[in-house]
Amino acid sequence: MSKPSAIREMSDEQLQHELREAQQSLFRLRVQAATERNDVPSNVKKLRRNIARIITIQRERELSKV
C-alpha cells in the first residue's frame, strides 16, 4: 500500500500499471473471501483505498492538463 506522496511521484504509465495490479489483487482477495480462505480480511479495505488513491491522482492530473 502506497502513500499518496509516493503515488504522485509515479509516471502515468506506472500509475496505470499499479492500478491494474491492485484491481487484480482485489479480485483475488474477493474470491478468497467467497471461498472462506481469506487470511487477512483487512487487506480488502486497504486495497480498495489504494485503488481510490490512484484513481484520484489520475483524475487530478487529468484536470490539471485542461
Give the residue-averaged pLDDT of 6-35. Answer: 93
Q: What is the DSSP string of 4-55?
A: HHHHHTS-HHHHHHHHHHHHHHHHHHHHHHHTT--S-THHHHHHHHHHHHHH
pLDDT at 1: 58
pLDDT at 12: 93
pLDDT at 51: 97
Query: Are 27 and 34 a contacting pair, CB within 8 Å?
Result: no
Domain borders along the chain are 4-65
Q: What is the pLDDT of residues 29-59, one digit of tens each?
A: 999 888 888 778 889 999 999 999 999 999 9
CATH 1.10.287.310 fits domain 4-65 = yes
